[in-house]
Structure 1
Amino acid sequence: METKIKDRIVNYWTKRSENFAQLRQEELHSYMSELWLTEITKYLPQRPCKILDVGTGSGFFAQLLAKHHHEVDGIDLTHSMIEQAKLSLKQLSDYNSKINFQVMDAENLYFADNTFDVVISRNLTWTLPNPQKAYSEWYRVLKPQGILLNFDADYGNEQFYQTKIENLPLNHAHRQVKPTLMQECDLIKNSLEISSKIRPDWDLRILKQLQFKDVFADTNIGQRIYKHQDKFYNPAPVFLIYAQK
C-alpha cells in the first residue's frame, strides 16, 4: 500500500517537475533568496556545515546554502526533480562542487548515523506516507547537537482544486497548473494520515517522543517570507519547526 502511494506521489511530481523547477530558479534569483536565508541562518552554526536537504525538489535550499559555503546533500524521491536540480547546477560552477544531488526516500536514508550538522526541509512533510519514520531517520543521521529545520504548512486543511483561482495573483504558479493536477494533488493529500493531524502540534509531539530537544514552532514565519502577493506567494499558513538532537 505504501509503495503504491509513493509511486502515485512520484508520478504527480514528475508531471510538475519542469514548471516547478523554473519557478524555483526564478525564486533563487529574486528577493526571496535573502528572505529565506535570513530565516535559516538564525539557527545555523557560525561555520560551514554539512547539511542534508530532504525533499530538495529542484534544489532551491541546496543551492542557496552551498552559495554560502555549506556542503549540501540534496535528496528527492522524484527522479525528474533531481534531474532538474542537476541541470540548474551546471550554471553554478562557482559552488557546485559543494552539492551532491541524488534520488533517495526521505523515510529510508542511505546515510550513516551522525553524518549531518543540519537537516533541512521545505514543503515535504505534508507529502509523506510515514512522516514519523522520516523524523526518526532525520534524527538518526544528525550528529549530536545537530539541528533540524522543517519549513512546512498544514496543507491537510487546504483544498487546492477548490481554491478560487481569482483569489491568486495573476502570475501565480498555481494558475499555470492544470485543474486535473490540482485535483490529483488533493486526492493524494487526502489519502495521507498526516492530513488528518493538527499541525504543527502533532510534529512537535512526535519530535519530543523521538528525544529531540529544544523543540518549538515559529508560526509567524509565513508573514515574514510571503510579504508580497506575487508568483511566489503561498497563502497557506507556513510554519518552521526547530529541533536539536
Structure 2
Amino acid sequence: MSEVAERRNYDLRDEIKAYWSERAATFDLSPGHEIFSEDERAAWHRLFLRHLGEGAGRAALDLASGTGVVSHLLDDLGFKVTGLDWAEPMLDRARKKARDRRRKISFRIGDAENTMESDDRYDVIVNRHLVWTLVDPAAAFAEWLRVLKPGGRLLIVDGDFVNTSALERFFSKLSTWGQRAGIFKADTPSGSREMMETHRSILSRVHFSQGARAEAVAELLETVGFIGVEIDTDLSDIHRTQAKNWNIFKGLARKSQHRYAICATKPSAAA
C-alpha cells in the first residue's frame, strides 16, 4: 500500500505533502511538468519576460518548486533563485538537477503558506499549479505580499482542473478511444489508481474544490492588498509546444482548459 493511502488520519495539509512526496519519482516524466523541448522553454521564457522582465540578478522565490522546473526557467533569465518546497523527495531531485546543470539555485524545505522568510525579501514570487492546492489561499496570499519587496511582482500560473467544458470532454474521449485502440501512444502514467483517488480526494477538500477560476483568485489577491492584478489567459504559445508531446486530441483537450497566468504587484512604500 502506498505511503499516502496509509495516512488517512493525517489532516488535509499532511495528505497534500505526502501525495506530492510520492509523486516526485515520476513527476518529470509528464509533459506539462518538465520541459520537453527548447521551443517550450522559449515559450515559458516569453511568458515570464512579459510579466516580470529580465532577472538582472533580482531575487526570485519559486514556491512549491517541486523538481525545480520553474526555478531553472527563472535562472535562465538571470534571476537569483530560491526554490521552496515541503516535499523532501521533490527537493532531492531539484538539487540533483541543479548540480547536473551546474546551476546556482538554492533549494530549501518550507511551506508555501507559511514561508518563514523575512519581510520585503524578494523582488519576484512565482508559482505554478500551487494555488488550486491551497487550504487557505487568502492567508497564503497575505504571506506572499509580506515577503515581497515594495513594488515586487507575483506571478501565478494555474487553472481550473474541476470544471470541464463539453469541448474538453469530447476531445478527451477521442484521445482515450485512440489510445485504447492502439492508434495513439498511451499517456505517461501519472500514478497508481490509489494515487489518482488520493488526488481526487484532496481536490474535493481544498478551498478551490469547485475550481480555481482566475477571477476568484484575482479577487482574493486584491482583497489582501495586491494591486495591478492582471489575468492573462493567452497561454497558447506554451500549449502549442506542449501539444507536440501528446496525440492531437489530448493537445486540443489541454488547450480547451481554463488555464491562466495572473500577475500582481505589492504596493510601493510610498503608496
| TM-score, length-scaled by structure 2 | 0.79
Which position in structure 2 is the counterpart of 1:119? 125
1:70-96 CA-partner distances (Å, limit 9, x unpaired): 101101121111111011111111xx2
2:113 aligned counterpart, secondary structure: coil
Letter matched to residue 217 of structure 2 = D
Q: Which moved more, 1:181-190 or 1:38-47?
A: 38-47
User: What are the residue-to-residue correspondences of 1:55-94 with 2, within 5 Å?
Assistant: 55-93=64-102
2:11 aligned counterpart, secondary structure: helix
Matched, 1:106 2:127: no
Letter matched to residue 241 of structure 1 = I
Matched, 1:200 2:206: no
Could you tell me how far apart the structure 1 residues matched to 2:22 and 2:203 are? 16
Which position in structure 1 is the counterpart of 2:265? 244
Which position in structure 1 is the counterpart of 2:185? 170
2:125 aligned counterpart, secondary structure: strand
In the TM superposition, residue 15 of structure 1 has moved relative to its aligned partner by 1.6
Matched, 1:19 2:12: no
Could you tell me how far apart the structure 2 residues matched to 1:26 and 1:206 are? 29
1:149 aligned counterpart, secondary structure: strand
Going from structure 1 to structure 2, the CA distance change for 1:68 and 1:220 (only over 3 Å counts) comes to closer
Which position in structure 1 is the counterpart of 2:168? none
> If you compute each CA radius of gyration, which structure gives the higher value, 1 or 2?
2
Could you tell me how far apart the structure 2 residues matched to 1:220 and 1:122 are? 16
Which position in structure 1 is the counterpart of 2:153? 147
Matched, 1:218 2:232: yes
Could you tell me how far apart the structure 1 residues matched to 2:111 and 2:244 are? 32
In the TM superposition, residue 197 of structure 1 has moved relative to its aligned partner by 5.3
Going from structure 1 to structure 2, the CA distance change for 1:101 and 1:186 (only over 3 Å counts) comes to same
Letter matched to residue 21 of structure 1 = D
Going from structure 1 to structure 2, the CA distance change for 1:216 and 1:8 (only over 3 Å counts) comes to same
Contact 2:60 2:125 in 1 (8 A): yes
1:117 aligned counterpart, secondary structure: strand
In the TM superposition, residue 56 of structure 1 has moved relative to its aligned partner by 0.7
Could you tell me how far apart the structure 2 residues matched to 1:118 and 1:184 are? 32
Could you tell me how far apart the structure 2 residues matched to 1:19 and 1:73 are? 23
Could you tell me how far apart the structure 1 residues matched to 2:190 and 2:226 are? 40
Going from structure 1 to structure 2, the CA distance change for 1:82 and 1:28 (only over 3 Å counts) comes to farther
In the TM superposition, residue 124 of structure 1 has moved relative to its aligned partner by 0.6
Could you tell me how far apart the structure 2 residues matched to 1:142 and 1:212 are? 11
Which position in structure 2 is the counterpart of 1:39? 47
Q: Which runs of 5+ in 1 are unaligned?
A: none
> Which of 14, 18, 23 does residue 7 from structure 1 map onto?
14
Fraction of identical pairs, as percent = 27
1:113 aligned counterpart, secondary structure: coil
In the TM superposition, residue 183 of structure 1 has moved relative to its aligned partner by 2.0
In the TM superposition, residue 30 of structure 1 has moved relative to its aligned partner by 3.7
Q: Which runs of 5+ in 2 are unaligned?
A: 1-7, 165-171, 267-271
Contact 1:117 1:142 in 2 (8 A): yes
